[in-house]
Amino acid sequence: MKWNDVASHWTAFLPRITTRWPDLDENEVIAIDGDQDAFVAYLASFNDQDTVTAKSELDEWLMGEQPADAVMDPTRDNAQISATTENVPAGEDPSDDDRRFGDDLTPQPPIDRAG
């Protein structure tokens, strides 16, 4: 992850931050509002450690996966959707209705409902 993503979507990352550091005061974390220096200083004072150690701990956390639900980027989503056409065989229209499979006219039950 990059700090810019975390800072831009600070409230979306709050659950992940509080999972990693469960003893932090959530209101204090919210008030930091994505300021990396303020978060490192808060983390250092809360854990009674120097800022270098707190920064190292934060950098280690940033090495983890970026949760898909925390950052919604339409340009990235559109690029991923467009990339799926790479799996369509040559000569087949990616927008094809696939009637040959025989299920296009079969109504599907709504998601999360027994059909």
Q: What is the mean pLDDT of each run of 10 residues along the chain (115 residues)?
A: 86 88 92 94 93 93 71 60 68 66 64 61
Q: What is the pLDDT of residue 59?
A: 92
Q: How far is CA 31 from CA 27, 35, 50, 70, 108, in A?
A: 6, 9, 21, 19, 46
Q: What is the pLDDT of residue 79?
A: 65
Report pTM. 0.59
- Domains of the chain by residue range: 3-62
Rounded to whole angstroms, the Cα distance separating 108 from 94 reads 21
Q: What is the pLDDT of residue 53?
A: 94
Residue with tokens 């959530």: 26
